[in-house]
Amino acid sequence: MEVSVTTSSVPDTAVEIRLASRPEGWPTTDNFDIVEAPVPEPGPGQLLVRNKVMSVDPYMRGRMSAAKSYVAPFEIGQPLDGGAVGEVVRSNSDDFSPGQSVLHSLGWREYAVVDATQATAVSSEFPPSAFLGVLGMPGMTAYVGLMDKARFQQGDTVFVSGAAGAVGSLVGQLAKLGGAERVIGSAGSPEKVRLLTERFGFDAAFNYKDAPVGEQLRAAAPNGIDVYFDNVGGDHLEAAIGSMNDFGRIAACGAISQYNATEAQPGPRNMFQFVTKRLSMQGFIVNDNTHLKRDFFEHVAPLVREGRISYEETSVDGIRKAPEAFLGVLRGDNTGKMLVNIA
């Protein structure tokens, strides 16, 4: 039996953000269309969700291009998508009731019709935004990359780039809590660098714009590094290879330095050190690792609950600001998780 229940009045039309055109190099607001469109009706087994908060993430830049990648590209003329938390306003599923908060993947719109099988109820113990950050995809990315791909061990010296972001700040804190010998982070502003040492407990941090990364990393890690968590690529990767100790491990998570490049960027000139120092590197995508989701939540949620892990959020208000928030995350305007408050 299908039950359609409405808790609040739903407007006839609502805002969604569509891909207007594919960017060459850096995207601009012209690549997005802000459209008032009819609010769709949920079909059998579906929910109508009023989105409260949505995520903008660097990986979305790849989806703006047509090239085949690990997630399907956005389609021109269609709304973008991405992680969001909202409130169920109509339910055609026995598993969800109006008023419940759910995590789903149809952000970039005020109202979303979501298959009940694609929605996850979220606990009110944590703020909704936590499920888009420290307890969501970015948090899981940090956990999987550090623990599984880089095979972190107590006593390691760990370097993470993009360290003030949602992923990087958790990598550093998990490493410290796990008994790292030393944790070093790089970021792109003096404020972020200060945050790394003063709030997130990094042992050392530097601004990659101040001087060559290799030089700053050698100064920050005079005894070398054992693990590198790469969010940036480019000269950060070359610097990390150069500072690696024997049997060092690299988790390759992202390359934000290259997402908007219009031609191929120079690669690391020191790849032969993979042989001489027996290095390993493992590229990964968080979605391949759902078997670790329970481990992640059981490891990280108590640390968040107890206040032993800090997280930062940068948010903008109003869905019409979502394109600007996204451009900001590519420029590094955010500290911690970049969010768009919708409702």
One residue of 194, 277, 320, 321 binding its own copies per CB under 8 A: 277
Q: Which stretch binds its own copies (CB under 8 A): 21-29, 151-159, 249-257, 323-331?
A: 249-257
Burial group, residue 337, by CB count within 10 angstroms (0-12, 13-18, 19+):
buried
Q: By C-alpha distance, which of 78, 154, 83, 146 is closest to 119?
A: 83
- Tell me how far, at minimum, the Cβ of 95 lies from its own copies, in Å: 32
The site string for its own copies over 5-44 (x = CB under 8 A, - otherwise) reads ----------------------------------------
Does residue 117 belong to the site contacting its own copies (CB under 8 A)? no
One residue of 238, 243, 300, 335 binding its own copies per CB under 8 A: 238
Q: Which stretch binds its own copies (CB under 8 A): 97-105, 124-132, 252-260, 333-341?
A: 252-260
Does residue 191 belong to the site contacting its own copies (CB under 8 A)? no
Does residue 77 belong to the site contacting its own copies (CB under 8 A)? no
| C-beta of residue 316 within 8 angstroms of C-beta of residue 28 | no
Q: Residue-wise over 224-246: b if at least 16 C-beta within 10 A, else e? A: bbbbbbbbbbbbbbbbbbbbbbe
Does residue 269 belong to the site contacting its own copies (CB under 8 A)? yes
Burial group, residue 190, by CB count within 10 angstroms (0-12, 13-18, 19+):
exposed
| C-beta of residue 230 within 8 angstroms of C-beta of residue 224 | no
| C-beta of residue 321 within 8 angstroms of C-beta of residue 298 | no
When the beta carbons of 110 and 238 are compared against its own copies, the nearer one is 238
One residue of 70, 78, 117, 121 binding its own copies per CB under 8 A: 70
Unique residue bearing structure tokens 């995590």:
103
| C-beta of residue 93 within 8 angstroms of C-beta of residue 106 | no
E-strand stretches of 92-210: 101-104, 111-115, 120-121, 157-160, 182-187, 204-207
Does residue 146 belong to the site contacting its own copies (CB under 8 A)? no
Binders of its own copies: how many residues, by CB under 8 A? 34
When the beta carbons of 238 and 313 are compared against its own copies, the nearer one is 238
Could you say which DSSP state residue 278 is in? T
| C-beta of residue 146 within 8 angstroms of C-beta of residue 176 | no
One residue of 11, 99, 179, 267 binding its own copies per CB under 8 A: 267
When the beta carbons of 201 and 268 are compared against its own copies, the nearer one is 268
| C-beta of residue 242 within 8 angstroms of C-beta of residue 216 | no
The amino acid that residue 264 corresponds to is: A
When the beta carbons of 16 and 57 are compared against its own copies, the nearer one is 57
Unique residue bearing structure tokens 């703006």:
64
CA distances from residue 25 to 64, 78, 184, 326 in whole angstroms, order as listed: 11, 21, 30, 14
Does residue 288 belong to the site contacting its own copies (CB under 8 A)? yes
Q: Which stretch binds its own copies (CB under 8 A): 8-16, 186-194, 212-220, 279-287?
A: 279-287
One residue of 13, 212, 278, 293 binding its own copies per CB under 8 A: 278
- Tell me how far, at minimum, the Cβ of 277 lies from its own copies, in Å: 7
| Beta-carbon count within 10 A of 298 CB | 9
- Tell me how far, at minimum, the Cβ of 30 lies from its own copies, in Å: 25
Does residue 72 belong to the site contacting its own copies (CB under 8 A)? no
Q: Which stretch binds its own copies (CB under 8 A): 5-13, 123-131, 153-161, 253-261?
A: 253-261
Per CB under 8 A, residues contacting its own copies are 62, 69-70, 233, 237-238, 252-255, 258, 264-285, 288
